[in-house]
Amino acid sequence: MASIFTTPKFLAMSAVGLDVSAGAVRFIELEPGRGGLVVSRFAAHSFPIGIVSGGHIEDKKKLTEAISGLASEHRLSYANVALPEEQGYLANMRIPRVTPKELRGAVELHLEEHIPIPANDAVFDYVVIDDHANRHKDFVDVAVSAFPRAVVEEYLEVFHGAGITPKAFELESGAMARAVIPKGDKGTFLVADIGKMTTEVFVAAKSVVQFSASLDIGGHYLTQAIERAMNISYEDAETLKAKDGLVAGETETPARTAMLPVLLDLRTRLLRHYSYWQTHHADKVGGNIECVYITGGGANLKGIEEYLALGLEVKIVPANPWGN
């Protein structure tokens, strides 16, 4: 049956997926092809570290210039934007069952019990978790994602200044989960996205991201450790990291020795979040973690899969972002 409502024009326009990280802005566009969606175009524009820090925009002018350059070169007008995880909040709520029309109001009423900002200062959305299983119960479970309104307005200002109209904002973890977790799989998975400045860790259960954390460890700090230990340039350290990784062979390499303290910190904190889920959430919302997916530029480090697996009770699998 045809809808009696007309879709707003800007929502009907095609849009690229766009990601803002600590050192780059990237976009990708998909189009229908044989057997599913195919990549029609993609590009990235790097910018100096410090323009975006901890998810917060430190230099609006330079970020606007970076996004504007990408938009002009590739004629971008509309985008679905993944915002840095550090500025967002994710919460699980169990609230009394209400009608679908009343649900958003009920979530807003309980919002301040779960995130540290007033409801009036938050921009939020929610997903109902496996309501089929709870349909006869007097409660409903929802996963809520929220950003401070000031953060959203800050990014809106930058995108509008760059000539791009955002159609939607979301947490990076939501976009990542859709890409790397096999479509239709209702299992429970931990994903570690090892980026340049941070590692985003989240757990998805029943096809919904239900827990996330941002770790201040990334590929930059591995390169920096090699640079300092070996007294070489950052560029040479980056080359050495990519060439040798953690595969030491018969002898320990200076690069590997330099990276180990940073990687030990990453593994320890990853194990901590894994254990937290297993002991606090597994019996409530999704069961035990079945495997750990690693992705991001840092996941390409030779030997990192085997190193991070030490101490975990499940296998670590390199994620395939093209699987879906």
The residue with greater pLDDT, 293 or 38, is 293
Question: What pLDDT score does 133 carry?
Answer: 61
pLDDT per residue over 237-259, tens digit each? 999 999 889 876 656 789 999 99
Six-digit token pair at 6?
Answer: 């007309």
Q: Would you list the DSSP string of 195-221? A: -SS-EEEEEEETTEEEEEEEES--HHH
pLDDT 10s digits, 295-311: 999 999 999 999 999 88
How would residue 282 be classed by pLDDT, with cut points 50, 70 and 90?
Answer: low
Determine the distance from the C-alpha atom of residue 306 to the mean position of all C-alpha atoms in its chain, rounded to a whole number. 23
Share of the chain above pLDDT 90, in %: 58
What percent of the chain is predicted at pLDDT more than 70?
A: 91
Token readout for 158 is 């930058």
Orientation of helix 254-280 relative to helix 234-244, angle to 10° = 70
Give me the amino acid identity at 303. Answer: G
Helix (H, G, I), strand (E, B) or coil at 298: helix
Closest CA to 227 of 246, 251, 252, 255: 255
Q: Could you list the beta-strand ranges (E) of 236-319.
A: 291-295, 316-318
CA–CA dist 298, 222 (Å, integer): 9
**Cα pseudo-dihedral 244, 268, 296, 73, rounded to 10:** -110
What is the structure's pLDDT at 253?
A: 86
Q: Count other Cβ atoms within 10 Å, centred on residue 7.
A: 9
CA distance 222 to 26: 23
Mean pLDDT to the nearest integer, 60-84: 94
Tell whether the model's pLDDT for residue 198 goes beyond 50: yes
The per-residue pLDDT for range 86-145, each reduced to its tens digit, is 889 988 888 899 898 999 999 999 999 999 999 999 999 998 887 566 665 788 889 999
pLDDT digits (tens, 9 = 90+) for 4-25: 444 454 455 577 999 998 889 9
Number of neighbouring beta carbons within 10 Å of residue 260: 16
Burial (Cβ within 10 Å: 0-12, 13-18, ≥19) of residue 62: middle
Averaged confidence pLDDT in the chain: 88
Over residues 161-185, the pLDDT tens digits come to 999 999 999 888 888 898 898 888 8
All structural domains of the chain, each given as residue ranges with its CATH number in brackets, are 9-83+150-177 (3.30.420.40), 87-148 (3.30.1490.300), 183-318 (3.30.420.40)
- Hey, what amino acid is at 252? E
Token pair recorded at residue 46: 């790097």
Name the helix (H) or strand (E) containing 224: helix 219-230
Mean pLDDT of 67-72: 95
For tokens 């990784």, name the residue. 245
pLDDT of residue 2: 41
